Amino acid sequence: MFSLIIHGFLFETRSAWIVWSLILFTLAIQLPLRRWIRFLPIVVVLFSLIGFSYLDTFQNNLMQTQRTLTALEKGNAGMMSSGDHIRIAAQDAGLAMFRERPILGWGPNMYVYLKPEFVMESNAKARNPGAFNAWLKVLVEMGLVGVLFSALVVVLPMLQTWLCLSKKQARKQEKNELPWLSFGFALGAFGLAIHLAFIDQMYSFYWFHVGLALAAARLAMEQKKRRDYDLR
C-alpha cells in the first residue's frame, strides 16, 4: 500500500491523484470511526510528506487543468497545453465515431484505423493514433453494450462488498477481516478503472485485479449468506 501511494504521486500524474482522492473519500464514508482513528496518523504523516515534496508539481498540474477547462469554455484550443489538446482531439474523434455506431461499435482495434477520418484538425499532434482513454476505445469499438458490460464487471464487486459491510453484524465482528479485504480488492479494481480513463489499453493486470475482486466479493457474499442463515 505504501509503495502504491508513493508511486502514484511519484509518477506525477493527475489520474493517480484523482484516484487516491476518490479512494480516500470512499473510505471516509465506509470505515468506522475507530478504524479511522487507528490509521489517521499514518495517513496524515504520509500525505504531508508527499504534499510537501510535490507541492510545485501539484500546483502546475492544477493550473494546467484550469487552463484546459477555460479553453474549452471559451472555445480557444490555443490556451491548452499540447498534451491536453491531443487528448481533447482524441475524445472528440471518438465521440464522433460512437455517434455513428452507438450500440455495437465498430469492432476490435478499429479506433486507431478510423481516427484519422474523424479528427477535425490537420496537425500531426492531433492525428496521434492514441485514444488516451481506454473507456473511450471500448465505447467506440464495442458500443454501449461493451462499455456497460465492462463497467458492470468492475462496479459489481464494489456493490457486493459494500452490501456486506453495511450489515451491523459484519461491523461487530472485529476479528473477521474477510469483508474488509474483499472491499479493499474491489476498491483497488475501481481505482484502476478510473486510471484507465487516462491511458489507452485495458491491460492484463487490470483484468487480473478485477478477477481477484470478483472472487473476493463472492467469498464475502457466501460468508454473509451463512451468517444470515445462522441468525435465523
- In this prediction the pTM is 0.77
- Helices of type H across the chain: 2-10, 14-30, 33-53, 55-74, 82-100, 110-118, 134-165, 168-172, 178-195, 204-231
Cell of 229: 442463515
For residues 32 and 171, is the Cβ–Cβ distance under 8 A?
Answer: yes
Q: Is the pLDDT reported for residue 111 higher than 90?
A: yes
Q: What is the pLDDT of residues 130-182, one digit of tens each?
A: 888 999 999 999 999 999 999 999 999 999 888 888 755 445 555 667 888 88
**Which tens digit of pLDDT belongs to each residue from 36-82?**
777 778 777 877 776 676 677 677 777 777 777 777 777 666 667 77
- Where is average pLDDT lowest: 15-19, 23-27, 63-67, 74-78? 74-78
**In sequence order, what are the residues at sequence separation of 6 or more whose Cβ sits closer than 8 angstroms to the Cβ of residue 139?**
94, 98, 105, 146, 147
Pick 228 or 181 by higher pLDDT.
181
Return d(Cα 180, Cα 223) in angstroms, integer.
12
Residue 131: burial class (beta carbons within 10 Å; 0-12, 13-18, 19+): buried
How many other CB atoms are found less than 10 A from the CB of residue 21?
10
pLDDT for the residue numbered 138 = 95
Q: Any idea where the domains of the chain sit in the sequence?
A: 1-78
Q: Distance between CA atoms of 185 and 179, rounded to whole angstroms?
A: 10
**The three cell numbers locating residue 150:** 465492462
Residues in the chain: 232
* Residue 225 clears pLDDT 80, i.e. is over it: no
User: What are the residues whose beta carbons fall under 8 Å from the beta carbon of 164, sequence distance 6 or more?
Assistant: 170, 179, 182, 183, 220, 221, 223, 224
114, three cell numbers: 478510423
